[in-house]
């Protein structure tokens, strides 16, 4: 890995996912991982998505996690346990070593 990419990886851990400043430990599929839950961005994304015919919304959650800590980027449609609650992954993006993962409570 080049020097710049190594610096980016260090910044991910020491700045963007700084436990003391932004992050909090959460249980993802039985593993304690440093996560940043982003309530504001989720609200902004929801504003851009049109309501379904009945205007019903499922509980959603958007979080960021280090790719190194999480492992392989998960596929949309898979189920993820977040703090013991089951969610369906609706979107997962690798943003240069930080995963942005959107979850939704699966339909019953």
Q: Say which CATH number the domain at 90 has.
A: 2.40.10
Task: Give the tens place of pLDDT for each residue, 29-75.
Answer: 999 999 989 876 555 555 544 444 445 556 788 999 989 899 999 99
pTM of the model: 0.73
The domain tally of the chain equals: 1
Average pLDDT over residues 83-103: 93
Cβ burial, residue 60 (10 Å; 0-12/13-18/19+): middle
Look at phi and psi of residue 6 and say left if phi exceeds 0, alpha if psi is from -120 to 50, else beta. Answer: alpha
Could you tell me the residue range of the domain that residue 32 belongs to? Answer: 3-104
């Amino acid at each position: 890995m080049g020097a710049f990419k190594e610096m980016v990886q260090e910044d991910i851990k020491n700045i963007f996912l700084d436990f003391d400043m932004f992050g909090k430990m959460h249980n993802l599929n039985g593993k304690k991982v440093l996560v940043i839950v982003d309530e504001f961005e989720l609200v902004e994304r929801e504003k851009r998505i049109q309501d379904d015919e009945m205007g019903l919304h499922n509980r959603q959650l958007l979080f960021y996690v280090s790719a190194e800590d999480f492992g392989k980027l998960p596929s949309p449609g898979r189920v993820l346990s977040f703090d013991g609650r089951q969610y369906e992954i609706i979107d997962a993006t690798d943003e240069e070593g930080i995963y942005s993962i959107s979850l939704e409570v699966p339909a019953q």
